[in-house]
Chains A and B, each alone.
Chain A
Amino acid sequence: MIKRSFFALSKPRLTYDLLDTSLQSAEPLAVPGSLTLLLPEKIDSAKKALIGPGDAVKKGQKLKLYDDSTPYVLSPVAGTIKGFDSYSDDFGNKATYIMIKPNPSAKGDEQWAQTNLEQTLEFAVGHLGQIPGALPFSTLANPDYDIRTIVVTGADTDLLCDTCQFVCSAYADQMAAGARILKAMIRADRICITVPENLSVQVDLDGFNILRTSDTYPSNLPAMVMKDHLGKVLSPGTIPENEGVCFIRPEALVSLARIYETGHPVFDKVITLIDKGGKRYRVKATIGTPISKILSCFNVQINERDRVIIGGPMRGLATYTVHHPVVPDMDTIMVQDRDVIAELSDSACVNCGECIRICPANVPVNLLVRYLEANLYEEAADRFDLESCIECGLCSYVCRARIPLYQYIRLGKHELLTLRENA
C-alpha cells in the first residue's frame, strides 16, 4: 500500500497500475461441484415461487422467483436446484442465493436452441441481462434515458485492477465485433473507449473513439471521464445516463460477440486475483463459482481476520464469506492480510483539511461529515455537496482521524434517497 511521503507538502498522488504483461492469458477453471447464483430479489414466503428445490434446470435457463418479477438469472449449467439462502448487502438490501448442483450428463442447452437469437434490444433485455461483464441492457432500454454515447472502460476504474486492460488487449477483435452488434441494437451515436495514456501494449481499437486517460486516480471514474473527456459535468444527484452516456465493461462487448458468433450463451468470466503480496493471477471462472474455489486453485491462504475484497482497494467491497459466488460484474478479487489493514476510528473530524486538499469534486468533506454524523442528510446535500461526491474514496484514504468517510457518504446518499422516496 502507498504511504504518506515523508515530506507531504503537496497532496498525495495515487496512480493506476498498467496492464500486467506477465500474464498472457486467463486460465480456465473447471465448473465446480456446486454453483451459487445471486438473484437481486428477496424471497417472499407469502407468494408461491416459480422454482424450488429439486427442480431441474437447463443451461441458459432463465430463473425468476415470481411471475411478475423483473430480476432474473441465467443458469450457467444444466443441473438441479438444491436450495435457497438469503443474502443481504451493505445497506441491508436483500437478495437470494440460488444453489445449483451441476449435472454434467444432462443435455441442457435446449432453452437457447429454442430461442431465436434476435439482434434487438428487447431480446437482449429479456435474455442477455446476465452475460459476463454485465451489459446494462435494462438501462439502455430505459425510456427515461436517451443513451447516445457508450463509454467502454478500457482503463480500469480502480487502483491495482487491470482486468479491463487485459480484456482489451487479449480480445480486441471480439470487443470490436461486440461493439458493432451493440451499435446495431441501440441508437448510439458513438462508442468511446478509455485507454490509459501510458499503456505500452498496442491494442487495435479501430472503430472506437479513443479517450486517453491520465494515470492519476480517479481520472478513470465515470464522472471524471465525463468532465475531462466528454465535456459534460454531472450536476449533483445525476448519473451519466441522465446525460445520455452509459459506461460499460469491455468484457460485456466480448461476451456479446461470442454469443452471437456461436449462438450459445457464455458464462465464463475473466477475473484477476490479487494475493496478499500483490501477485496477480488471471482466471476464467464460471459464473456462480464460489470465490473459495478460485483461492484454493492458486493456493492463496486465508487466515482469521484477513479480508477478501471484491474489486479494487479504493472502491471494492469486503465480503464476509468466501462462499460468495462469481457474478457477472466481478472483475477483481483482492486478498488483504490482517496486518496491513488500516485501523479506522470513531473519532470526530479534527478539521485537518487533508480531505479538502485531495477531493477531486471539491466536496467540503470536513463539514459534510459533521452533518452526516448528525443525520442531517437534506442539509448535507443542500449546503455541503453530498451529491457532488464521485465516490472515489480518496478522502477516507487520507483522513487523519481515520473516519470511514467514504462509507458515511455512501450511506448518506442512500439515506437521502430513502428520505426523498418516502417524502
Chain B
Amino acid sequence: MGDLFVLAISCIFINNILLAQFLGNCPFLGTSKKMETAMGMGMAVVFVLVMAGMITWIVDVYLLKAMNVEFLRTVSFILVIAALVQFVEMFLKKSIPGLYAGLGIFLPLITTNCAVMGVCLINIKEEYTFIEALVSSFAYAVGFGLALVLFAGVRERVILSRVPKPLQDTSIGLVTAGLIALIFTIFRGMV
C-alpha cells in the first residue's frame, strides 16, 4: 500500500508525464488557453488513460508475452487505444450524454496523444504488476491534468499581458511551459 502511494506520488510529481517525460505536449499547448478546456482535457485523459493502461497491460501479458510476439506491441497497443477511444465515445454518447458533452471534442484528440501510448509502454518497460500499472496510469493521468490546469491558470493571465508580438501565443506558451518544467524539478528525489 505504501509502495503504491509512493508510486503514485512519483508519477504525479517527480516523473510528471508532461514536464519530466515530455509526453503529451501537443494537447498541453493546444488545450491550455482556457481553464475550462484544460479541465475537460484533463478529465478525458484520466478516463481514457486508466482504461488504456489496464487493457494494454492485459494484452501485453496475456497475449503478446504469452504468445511470444512482443514485436507486435506497438501495433496492438495503438489499435487497442484507438478502438478504446472510439468505444468510450460511443458509450458516453449513448449512456452519459452530460459527460460526453463535457469531454466530447477532447476524446478524439487523445488517440494521437503520446501521453496515453507512452504510459502504456512505460507500464510494460518498468515491468509493473497489474495493480501497479493501474495506479501508475491513474497517477500519470492526474499528473497530466495537474500540469495542464496549472499551466492554463498561468497562461490565461499571460495571454492578457502585453507580450511582445512575435512571442505571442505558442511561443510564450512554450517559454512558460519551460519555466514550469524548471519548477517541477523541485520534486526531484522526494521519494
Contact = CB atoms under 8 A, between A and B. Distances in A.
A–B: direct contact at CB < 8 Å: yes
Given A348-B161, A370-B161, A374-B160, 5 more contacts: A348-B162, A370-B157, A370-B160, A371-B160, A373-B160
Q: Which of B157, B160, B161, B162 neighbours the largest number of chain A CB atoms within 10 Å of its CB?
A: B160
B120 to A, nearest CB: 38
Interface in A341-383: 348, 370-371, 373-374
Nearest to A373: B160
> Closest 7 CB pairs between A and B?
A370-B160, A374-B160, A348-B162, A348-B161, A371-B160, A373-B160, A370-B157
Interface in B142-180: 157, 160-162
Contacts of B160: 370-371, 373-374
A371 B159 CA distance: 10
Nearest to A349: B161
8 contacts: A348-B161, A348-B162, A370-B157, A370-B160, A370-B161, A371-B160, A373-B160, A374-B160
Interface size class of A (residues with CB under 8 A): under 10
Nearest to A371: B160
A370 B157 CA distance: 8
Contacts, number: 8
A365 B118 CA distance: 43
Interface of A: 348, 370-371, 373-374
Nearest to B162: A348
A67 to B, nearest CB: 49
A374 B156 CA distance: 12
A373 B161 CA distance: 9
Contacts of B162: 348
Contacts of A373: 160
Contacts of B157: 370
A230 B161 CA distance: 41
Nearest to A369: B160
Nearest to B161: A348
Nearest to A347: B162
Nearest to A348: B162
Interface in B11-33: none
B91 to A, nearest CB: 33
Nearest to A376: B160
B21 to A, nearest CB: 33
Contacts of A374: 160
A334 B157 CA distance: 40
Contacts of A371: 160
Contacts of A370: 157, 160-161
A365 B34 CA distance: 20
B58 to A, nearest CB: 45
Nearest to B160: A370
A371 B160 CA distance: 7
A371 to B, nearest CB: 7
A370 B162 CA distance: 10
A371 B162 CA distance: 12
Interface in B26-64: none
A117 B157 CA distance: 61
A63 B157 CA distance: 53
A372 to B, nearest CB: 10
A19 B29 CA distance: 61
A348 B157 CA distance: 12
Contacts of B161: 348, 370
A348 B162 CA distance: 8
B130 to A, nearest CB: 44
Interface string B60-103: 00000000000000000000000000000000000000000000
A374 B168 CA distance: 14
A375 B157 CA distance: 14
A329 to B, nearest CB: 38
